[in-house]
Structure 1
Amino acid sequence: MNLPTLLLVHGSFHRREMWNALIEELPGLDVRTIQLPSSAPVPVDQLGSMYEDAQAVRDLVLEIDGPVVVCAHSYGGVPVSEGVAEVGAVRHIVFLNSFVLDVGESMLGNRGGSYPPHWGVHEDEQYIEMLGAEKVFYNDLSREQAKTAAGELGPQSLMSMRQPLTRAAWHDIASTYVIGERDAGLPVPMREKFGARVGNVRRLDTSHSPFYSRPGETAALLRETLEGAR
Structure 2
Amino acid sequence: MTQTDPTPTLVLVHGAWHGSWCWSTVVDELAAQGQATATVDLPSSGQDAAALGGLADDIAAVGAVLDAVEGPKVLVGHSYGGLPVSAAAVGRDDVVGVVYVCAFVLDEGATLLQAGGGTPPPFWDISADGTHMAAADPVAVFYGDCDPAVAASAAAQLGFQSMSSVTTPLPATAHRAVPTTYVVADLDTGIPPFVQEAMAEGRVDHVVHVDSAHSPFLSRPRELSRLLLDAVASA
TM-score bucket of the superposed structures, by smaller chain: over 0.9
Task: Report the secondary structure of 1:91's partner residue.
Answer: strand
The correspondence for 1:29, drawn from 35, 39, 42, is 35
Query: Partner residue of 1:10?
Result: 14
Query: Partner residue of 1:145?
Result: 150
The reply on whether 1:57 has 2:49 as its aligned counterpart is no
The correspondence for 1:213, drawn from 205, 208, 219, is 219
**Amino acid in the other structure paired with 2:84:** P
Query: Partner residue of 1:131?
Result: 136
Tell me the distance in 2 between the aligned counterparts of 1:199 and 1:190: 17
Tell me the distance in 2 between the aligned counterparts of 1:204 and 1:111: 22
The reply on whether 1:204 has 2:205 as its aligned counterpart is no
Tell me the distance in 2 between the aligned counterparts of 1:147 and 1:139: 11
**Structure 2 runs not aligned, ≥5 long:** none
The correspondence for 2:24, drawn from 20, 24, 27, is 20
Query: Do 2:73 and 2:96's aligned partners in 1 also have CA atoms closer than 8 Å?
Result: yes
Query: Partner residue of 2:79?
Result: 74
Task: Report the secondary structure of 1:135's partner residue.
Answer: helix
Query: Partner residue of 1:47?
Result: 52
Aligned residues: 228
- What is the Cα-based RMSD across aligned positions, in Å? 1.3
| Identical counterparts, % of pairs | 37
Matches within 5 A, 1:169-208: 169-196=174-201, 197-208=203-214
Tell me the distance in 1 between the aligned counterparts of 2:193 and 2:9: 31
Query: Do 1:45 and 1:125's aligned partners in 2 also have CA atoms closer than 8 Å?
Result: no
Query: Do 1:44 and 1:125's aligned partners in 2 also have CA atoms closer than 8 Å?
Result: no
Shift of 1:95: 0.1
Q: Quick one: structure 1 residues 150 and 65, their matched pair in 2 at CA, closer, same or farther if it must change by over 3 Å?
A: same
Tell me the distance in 2 between the aligned counterparts of 1:19 and 1:57: 15
The reply on whether 1:118 has 2:88 as its aligned counterpart is no
**Which deviations, in whole Å up to 9, do the C-alpha atoms of 1:47-89 show, x marking residues without a partner?**
0001110011112212221100011100000011112111110
Tell me the distance in 2 between the aligned counterparts of 1:189 and 1:61: 32
Task: Report the secondary structure of 2:188's partner residue.
Answer: coil
Shift of 1:188: 3.3
Tell me the distance in 2 between the aligned counterparts of 1:29 and 1:187: 30
Of 141-150 and 67-76, the range deviating more from structure 2: 141-150
**Structure 1 runs not aligned, ≥5 long:** none
**Amino acid in the other structure paired with 2:80:** Y
Query: Do 1:177 and 1:200's aligned partners in 2 also have CA atoms closer than 8 Å?
Result: yes
Tell me the distance in 2 between the aligned counterparts of 1:186 and 1:161: 15
Q: Which runs of 4+ in 1 moved over 6 A?
A: none
Matches within 5 A, 1:100-119: 100-119=105-124
Query: Do 1:13 and 1:153's aligned partners in 2 also have CA atoms closer than 8 Å?
Result: yes
Shift of 1:189: 3.2
Of 187-196 and 211-220, the range deviating more from structure 2: 187-196
